[in-house]
Structure 1
Amino acid sequence: MNQTLNQNTTPIPAHFRFTRLFLALSMLVMGTCGIIYEYVLGLMGNNLMGSSHEQIFVIIGIMMFAMGMGAIAQQNLKQHLIDWFLRLELLLGLLGGFGALLTYVAFVYLVNYELVLYALAFVIGALIGLEIPLLIRINSEHTKTLRTNLSDILSMDYVGSLLGALLFTYVLLSHVTLANIALLMGLFNVTIALAGLLFFLPLLHQPRLILLLALLALLLLGTGLFYSPQWMFKLEQRTFEDPIVFSTTSKYQHLVLTQRKDHLRLYLNGHLQFDARDEQIYHEQLVHVPMSLAKQRQRVLILGGGDGLALREVLKYPDVEHITLVDIDPEMIKQARDNPLLSQLNQGAFQDARVSARIAPADNADKVHEQETIYRQSSLANSLRDKQWYELAKVQVYTVDADVFMRQTEGLYDVVLIDFPDPRSVELGKLYSTDFYHSLRQRMQKHALLSVQSTSPYRATAVYLCIAETLRSAGFQVLPYHDYLPSFGDWGWHLAWNDKAQSPDELLQNVHQLPEFSVATRYLTPQRMRAAFAFGKGMLTQPPWLRPNSKMQPVIMAYYAQGFD
C-alpha cells in the first residue's frame, strides 16, 4: 500500500491538493537530470577512450537497459513508497553527481577503467528506472484514471529530457566542466528530495533519517563542487608526462598545454596535437609542399589549424593576398592568439587578426566573421630608413563547422590546406568524406593545389589509403607523401589537385625540379621534399576490401580503430 493519512484522525493538509503538480514538476526535474547524466557519462567515454560514435551509443544503451531492470525491481517495493522515492533521489544525486569524478579517478588509477564507467551507467540507469514507476504509483493516489496518471508523469519525463538536451548542449557544455555539470545535477536531485521531505512530511515513515541523509548529500555535493577543479587538475596531471601549464574545456573539446623547459605540447581530448620540438616538420610539409608548387597562391584556405602554426607558414609568402582560416572552436583561436606560449610559437599569427569581438556561430557560416589586415615591415626598412608598414594579407577567421562552411561559402581558392585532427569520431569522419571533398573541389581553381593531413601510413595504413581513395572518388588527382616526426613516427599527407590534364607523374617531376624554396624554412629542403614522395615496397598497395569514406558509410572510423586503437 502507498502511504496515506488516517482521514478519521488527521486532517488532510491543504497543500496536498497540489500533489499532482508537485509530482509532475519533480518528474520534469528528474527527466532533465537523467538525460544530462547520460550525456556526461557518454562524453566521458568519448574523451577518455577517443571513440564518441561508440561510447555515447553504448552508454545510452546500457542506461536504457538498466532502466528496464529498475522498472522490474520496483515491484518489490510495497510499503512506504514516498520514503523509498526520496531515498532513491538522494542516492541518484550522489552517484550521478560524482559519476564524472569517479570515472576520471578510475581512468587515472585503474587499467580497466571502462568497467567503472559502464557500472556507473548501469546503476544510475537502474535508479532512474526505479523512480519513474514509483512516481506513477504514488501519483495513482491522486488521479482518477490511469491515463491521467501516465500523462502526468511520462509527459513531464519526456519534456524534461528535451529541456536537459537543450540545456546541456547550448548552456552547460560551453561554460561548465563535465564534473561540475554532474555535481550540479546531483544537487538538483537532492533538492527534489528535500522538497519532497517538506511536502510529504506527514506521510513519511522516517523523516529524520531522510533529512540527515539529505543534509549529508548536500554537504558532499557542495564540497565536490567547490573542490572539483583542484581535484581534476591533480588527477589530470597524473596522466601527462610534463607539468600542465594550461587546461580548459570548450564546447567542442578539452585543451591541455604541457611544458617542461622549452618542450611545449598541445593535447586535444587527451590526444597529442603537436610537440614544439618537431611541429615544424609537420607544418612545413603541410604548407610548403603545395605552396611551392602552386601556379598561383593569392587566395589560401586553411581548414582546421586553429593553433595558428599553418597560418604562420602561409604568412611567409609575400604574394598571398587573402587567407581564410576555418576552425570550429573559438577557444582554440582565442588561446592561439592570447596565450603567450602559443602566440610565441605561432609567431603572433593571430595578433593582428582579432577574432574575440565577433565570432561566427558554428552552425551558420553566413553570419559575421572577423576580417583584419596583417601588416609587416619591409625587409628594406632599416637600410632605406623607411618606417612604413606594408600590407601583407587580409585574414578572415571563421569559427564554424568546416562542412557547413564549404556548402555555404563563395569564391575560389588557389591553395587549400587541411589540418584536421585524425578521423576518430563521427564529427571528424565527415570531414574526410567524398561529400566533403566534392564540396571542396567546387571551391578550388582549376590550377589549385590541396594538401591533406592523412595520419600515419605505417600505423594506420588503411586510413591513409582510404583518404587517397576518397579524394580520387571526389574527382581529385592524388600524390601521397610522408615524413618522420619523432613525436608521432611516420606521418603522411596527400597532395591533390583538380586539373585532369596534369598527371601525378608530371607534378612529381615538378617536385624534383624545384631548386629552392622562396621563403625561409627551419627543416624542409627541396631534397627532403623530394624524398617525402618515396615509399617502401608495398606500402601503398590497396587491399581489395578498402572503400572510400562517405557520410552515409563512415568506414574510415573503423579503419582508424583497427590501426591506432
Structure 2
Amino acid sequence: MVDPAPPSGVSERSTTPPARRLAPPRQWLLLLAVFVIATCGLIYELIAGTLASYLLGDSVTQFSTIIGVYLFSMGIGSWLSKFVEGNLLRWFIRVELLVGLVGGFSAPLLFVLFEYVASFRLMLYSLVGLTGILVGLEIPLLMRILEDQLSFKELVSKVFTFDYIGALLASLIFPLVLVPYLGLVRSSVLFGLLNVGVAGYLLAQFAETRPYRRSMGTAVVLAALALLVAFIGADRIVTFAETATFRDTVIFSKNTPYQRLVLTRNAHEMRLYLNGNLQFSSVDEYRYHEALVHPAMRHLPQASRVLVLGGGDGLAVRELLRYPHLRQIDLVDLDPAMTRLFRQNSMLTTLNANALNHPKVRVWNADAYNWVRTDTTRYDLIVMDFPDPSNYSVGKLYSTAFYRELPRLLRPGGRMVVQSTSPFMGRRSFWCIVHTLQAAGFQTQPYHAYVPSFGEWGYVLAYPSTGNVPDEPFARAAGTLPAGLRYVNAQTLGEMGNFPPDMAELPTDVNRLNNQVLVRYFEEDWGKWQ
C-alpha cells in the first residue's frame, strides 16, 4: 500500500521549520571547536589525576577514580543535554564559558585548598564531576546544532574523528610539553583560556549571536582576564600553596614528567620532597646513606664496579666514593631533572660532595626496570635507593620479576642492598621486601638504623643463593670502614642486625608483579600513622 502524497507545498517534515543551513566554513568552525574541546577535556582529566597523585599518593588509585568519576559525569552531562532547548548555539557558548572557568581554575583551587579543606577528596571529586558534566554537554549540543547541516553518518564520522584526534593530541602534549614546561597550574589555566577563546570566537563569527553578543561578550572578556591573571600569577599561587603545605621556605619547586620536586630550607637544614613525601633532611641524611652503603662495602675490599639504582641526589654515590679502589659507579635514575639539579645547584653539590660530577661516575637517566634487562656490565655491588613503594610504578621495582633479573649483573661474591622502608612503622612492608627477595632466590640479612627524620629505617643485604655468604653473623666483624664516617662504626654495625619484638619478622605475601601486595601493605602500614 502506498502512502498518500502530502498536499502540495507541505513538507513531510512540516512539524518544525527547517533550520537555516550553515555555510561550509562555519561548519568547519564548529568541527574545529570539537577538536579544541576534546583536547581541553582530556587535559582537565589528566591534570586532576596527576594532581591527585601528587597530593594523595598512589597514582594508580587516583587516576582510576578520577577517570571513573570524570567519565560518569560526562555521561550525566550527555543525558542532561536532551533537556536543553531553545537557541542551542547560545547554550553551547555558555557551556564553553563555564568549562573554561571551572576547568581552568580547578588546579589552582585544588593546590590552594589542599591544606585548608578538611574533606579535600570531596572538593576534588566535586570539581572533577562538575567539569565532566559540562564537557559531557558539549558534544551532544554541537551534534544537535549540526544535525540539519550534515547527514547522520557524516555528522557522526566528522564529530568523533575530531574528538579522538583532540584526545590524542592531549595525551601527547601533556607529559612531553605541559607538565615539564608549564606545570599543572599554568596548563589548567591555559586550557581554560582555550575554552573561553572558543566561546568568544563563535560569538563573534556567527551572525545569529548579535542579539546577545554584547552581554555574553562582556562575560567572555571578564573570564579571559581572570584566567590570564591566574596564568601570569601561577608561580605565586603555587608558592602560596606550598608555603601552607611545607613548614619551611620553599627554595625550589618543579614539576617533571615523573614527579614534583620541592626543596625547602630553614636556618638548620634543607629538605627534599618528592610528590610531597620527605626524601631526606640535610641534618641527618648521612645516617641513612652511611647505613645504606657501608655495611655492604665493608666486605668488598676488591670491588671495582658499583651500580646505583635510584639515588639521583648523589648522596649514596658520595659514600661510595670514599672507597678509592672503586673504578666505576653507574647511577641509573629515571628523572633527568633530579640528577641535573644535584649536579648543578651549588648548595646540593656541597651536600653530595659534587659526587655526580666525579670522573668515576656515569649518570644514566632511564627506567631501572628496563635498564637491568639490557645492561651487560657485571658489578660487585648493586645499591637500590628507590623511593618507598607507595604506588604501583615504584612497587614493580620491589617485585620478584625485577629481583630475578639482578643475579646475572653480579660478579661472583657480589651482593646488593635494598632500602626497605621502616620495620617499625611499615613492619609488614619491610618483611614483605625480605620475603620477596628470598622468593626471588636471594639469601638475605635484614638490618635497620635510626634516622631522626624518619625513625627506625630498614635495609636488606642480599646475596644470590649460588654466591658465598659471609660466615660470620651480621652483628659481628665490622670489616674495613673508611675514615670520616659520622654514624657507622663497629658498635653501630653490631646493633643493626638486632630486631626487637615490635620489629620482629612476621608472615607476609610475596610482592609479585601481578598482585603488587607490597603497595597495599605500605598504604595500610603508613596509613595508621597519619
What displacement does 1:152 show? Answer: 1.5
Quickly say closer, same or farther: Cα 1:205–1:140, change in 2 above 3 A. farther
Quickly say closer, same or farther: Cα 1:475–1:213, change in 2 above 3 A. same
What displacement does 1:16 show? Answer: 2.2
What displacement does 1:96 show? Answer: 0.5
1:410 to 376, 384, 407: 376
What displacement does 1:51 show? Answer: 1.5
- Which residue of structure 2 aligns with residue 376 of structure 1? none
- Which residue of structure 2 aligns with residue 279 of structure 1? 285
Question: Map of 1:191-340 to 2, 5 A cutoff?
Answer: 191-203=197-209, 205-294=211-300, 296-340=302-346
CA contact (8 A) 1:317 1:519 kept: no
Question: Map of 1:418-497 to 2, 5 A cutoff?
Answer: 418-497=384-463
1:129 to 120, 129, 136: 136
What displacement does 1:163 show? Answer: 1.0
Quickly say closer, same or farther: Cα 1:73–1:287, change in 2 above 3 A. same
What displacement does 1:350 show? Answer: 2.2
- Which residue of structure 2 aligns with residue 358 of structure 1? none
3-state DSSP of counterpart to 1:206: helix
3-state DSSP of counterpart to 2:115: helix
What displacement does 1:262 show? Answer: 3.0
Please list the CA deviations of residues 518-554 of structure 1 after superposition, one character each: whole Å capped at 9, or x if unmatched.
34311111110121000013633333xx221122221
Query: Is 2:160 the counterpart of 1:165?
Result: no
- Which residue of structure 2 aligns with residue 156 of structure 1? 162
Query: Is 2:365 the counterpart of 1:399?
Result: yes
What displacement does 1:105 show? Answer: 1.8
| Counterpart Cα distance in 2 of 1:134 and 1:186 | 19
Please list the CA deviations of residues 21-75 of structure 1 after superposition, one character each: whole Å capped at 9, or x if unmatched.
2222111111111111000000110011011111111011000000111111111
1:528 to 492, 495, 500: 492
Question: Map of 1:38-117 to 2, 5 A cutoff?
Answer: 38-117=45-124
| Counterpart Cα distance in 2 of 1:4 and 1:316 | 86
- Which residue of structure 2 aligns with residue 514 of structure 1? 478
What displacement does 1:129 show? Answer: 0.7
Identity %: 38
TM-score (norm 2): 0.93
User: Which deviates more from structure 2 when the two are superposed, residues 276-285 or residues 533-542?
Assistant: 533-542
**Structure 2: any 5+ residue segments left out of the alignment?**
1-13
Query: Is 2:490 the counterpart of 1:539?
Result: no
TM-score (norm 1): 0.88
Give the letter for the 2:517 counterpart.
Answer: V
Please list the CA deviations of residues 393-441 of structure 1 after superposition, one character each: whole Å capped at 9, or x if unmatched.
x221101111111111111100111111001112111111111111122
CA contact (8 A) 2:42 2:167 kept: yes
3-state DSSP of counterpart to 1:350: helix
CA contact (8 A) 2:251 2:264 kept: yes
3-state DSSP of counterpart to 1:302: strand
| Counterpart Cα distance in 2 of 1:408 and 1:440 | 11
Please list the CA deviations of residues 450-486 of structure 1 after superposition, one character each: whole Å capped at 9, or x if unmatched.
1100001111111111111111111111110001111
| Counterpart Cα distance in 2 of 1:448 and 1:174 | 38
What displacement does 1:6 show? Answer: 8.4
3-state DSSP of counterpart to 2:191: helix
Query: Is 2:334 the counterpart of 1:341?
Result: no
| Counterpart Cα distance in 2 of 1:562 and 1:538 | 17
CA contact (8 A) 2:412 2:467 kept: no
Quickly say closer, same or farther: Cα 1:241–1:508, change in 2 above 3 A. farther
Query: Is 2:31 the counterpart of 1:19?
Result: no
What displacement does 1:295 show? Answer: 5.4
Give the letter for the 1:512 counterpart.
Answer: R
Give the letter for the 1:549 counterpart.
Answer: N
2:513 to 531, 551, 557: 551
3-state DSSP of counterpart to 2:233: helix
Give the letter for the 1:119 counterpart.
Answer: S
What displacement does 1:514 show? Answer: 2.4
3-state DSSP of counterpart to 1:477: strand
| Counterpart Cα distance in 2 of 1:240 and 1:507 | 47
Quickly say closer, same or farther: Cα 1:330–1:6, change in 2 above 3 A. closer
What displacement does 1:198 show? Answer: 2.0
